[in-house]
Amino acid sequence: MDPIAVVLIVLLVVAVVVGAAWAVKARRRAQLRERFGPEYERAVEEGESVQAAEAGLRARVEERKALTIRALSAEERESFNQRWLDVQAEFVERPESAIIDADALVGELMHERGYPVADDFERQANLVSVDHPQVVAHYRDAHAVFARTGTDDEVSTEDLRQGLVSYRALFAELLEDEPETETTDDDRKREAVR
């Protein structure tokens, strides 16, 4: 075989491999962007590099897969909803107390659904971001207001109101969201009968 033909074939094979690797990387990046939305951009901005941020997002997905997120019963949803309404009503007379209660109630709801609730807020937010990327920014904003309450840092009533509104965004989504379940053949047969 002609040496020039061999070189051309090797170059072609290398180009195909490099092109395929680039296409896989671009597809994975697009999937992460689509899945995480604004959380993707936040992770990239705060990360050491795009690759490190993407690796962190993939790690979140894997950690989330290990959790068992459960649906709430209608009674549980109603109870949580009523308690939220009580927190909102409390805001009128005691806004700082309301933001503290909102943080506790969101934490309790997360725990009931199956998310780990611990002292590591960032881990909690990261895990929530896998299922709720559109509202996790609200969670971070609300928690920042909560963290400032009771400190020397003055928190305005408007800040507290915004914090409560931000907590409500996540709370509403957690309250109504149902975990994805696999449809079995038995489920399909029952649906066909209906």
**Would you kindly state where each structural domain of the chain is located, as residue ranges?**
3-65, 74-176
pLDDT digits (tens, 9 = 90+) for 131-165: 999 899 999 999 999 999 977 778 999 999 999 99
Residues 6+ apart with CB under 8 A from 83: 105
Model pLDDT, residue 99: 96
Model pLDDT, residue 193: 35
Model pLDDT, residue 118: 75
| 3-state secondary structure at position 114 | coil
Residues 6+ apart with CB under 8 A from 69: 113, 114, 115, 131, 179
Model pLDDT, residue 183: 37
Structure tokens that stand for 177 in this block: 């969201």
Of the listed ranges 15-19, 164-168, 190-194, the least confidently predicted one is: 190-194
Compute how many other C-beta atoms are within 10 angstroms of the C-beta atom of residue 174: 22
Whether the pLDDT of residue 170 is over 70: the answer is: yes
pLDDT digits (tens, 9 = 90+) for 65-109: 999 999 999 999 999 999 999 999 999 999 999 999 999 999 999
Model pLDDT, residue 177: 67
- Cα-based distances in Å from 56 to 61, 93, 114, 162: 9, 42, 21, 29
CA angle 64, 65, 66 (to 5 degrees): 90
Whether the pLDDT of residue 189 is over 80: the answer is: no
Whether the pLDDT of residue 59 is over 90: the answer is: yes
pLDDT digits (tens, 9 = 90+) for 2-54: 888 888 888 888 888 888 878 877 788 888 888 898 899 899 998 889 889 99
Structure tokens that stand for 6 in this block: 């061999």
User: 């671009």: which residue's tokens?
Assistant: 26
Model pLDDT, residue 178: 61
pTM of the full structure: 0.76
Q: Are 38 and 134 in contact (CB under 8 A)?
A: yes
